[in-house]
Structures are given as structure tokens and as C-alpha cells.
Amino acid sequence: MKPIRTHTFNGHRVIIDIDPDGVNGMVDCPYGTNPTSTMHILKDPRSKEGFEVVVHETLHVLRWAETEEVVERTAKELVKFLWRLGYRMKQ
């Protein structure tokens, strides 16, 4: 499977940088003067923890004004549900 390099969220282009040797993730502010942001995924996205990082950082892009606590809780609950349903990244 070819890794994605960019994705457009709500009309805003985000560069996707996956570096599974890290321990967390982060995303630049998706709004403002910069026409693109970068989402750093610093966990293996095939793992449950990595899946949670992907969802967490995506929530930040989609709902930048939300608090870290809300994003964290929402990501954990969503991943727990999707993981139980069998959602996994293809190898």
C-alpha cells in the first residue's frame, strides 16, 4: 500500500509525515496564513496506539479550538470503538 503524503481536511491541505520511531504526534495549526500544515505521526499507525495518534491529530485539524482534554478523550473513545469493530491499517 502506497503511503499517503497529503490529505485535505475541510478544504485545508495537510502534509502527512509518518515517522514511527517517535513516541507521539503533533500537527501545525491548520488555520492562518500558512496554506498547508504538517501532521507528524510519531508512532506506527498499524498499532492501536498509533491509530489513536492518527485519530487524535486528525481531531486537532478538524476541531482546532477544542481543548487537549476533549481531543484526548474523544480520540480514545473513538479508537476503542473502531478497534472493537476490527478497524486496522492494511499492512
Convert the chain into a string of H (helix), E (strand) and C (coil): CCCCCEEEECCEEEEEEECCCCCCEEECCCCCCCCEEEEEECCCCCCHHHHHHHHHHHHHHHCCCCCHHHHHHHHHHHHHHHHHHCCCCCC
Residue 34 above 80 pLDDT?
A: no
Question: 61 in a domain, yes or no?
Answer: yes
Question: 74 in a domain, yes or no?
Answer: yes
Phi (first) and psi of residue 90, to 5 degrees: -65, 145
Q: What percent of the chain has pLDDT above 90?
A: 46
Domain that includes residue 15, residue range: 6-85
Q: What is the pLDDT of residues 50-79, one digit of tens each?
A: 899 999 999 999 998 999 999 999 999 999
Residues 36-53 have a mean pLDDT of 87
Residue 91: what pLDDT? Answer: 67
Closest CA to 17 of 40, 43, 51, 36: 40
Q: What is the pLDDT of residues 15-27, one digit of tens each?
A: 999 887 766 888 8
> How much is the mean pLDDT over the chain?
87
Q: What's the total number of domains in the chain? A: 1
Question: 21 in a domain, yes or no?
Answer: yes
Q: Is 30 exposed, middle or buried (0-12, 13-18, 19+ CB in 10 A)?
A: buried
The model's pTM: 0.86
Residue 69: what pLDDT? Answer: 97
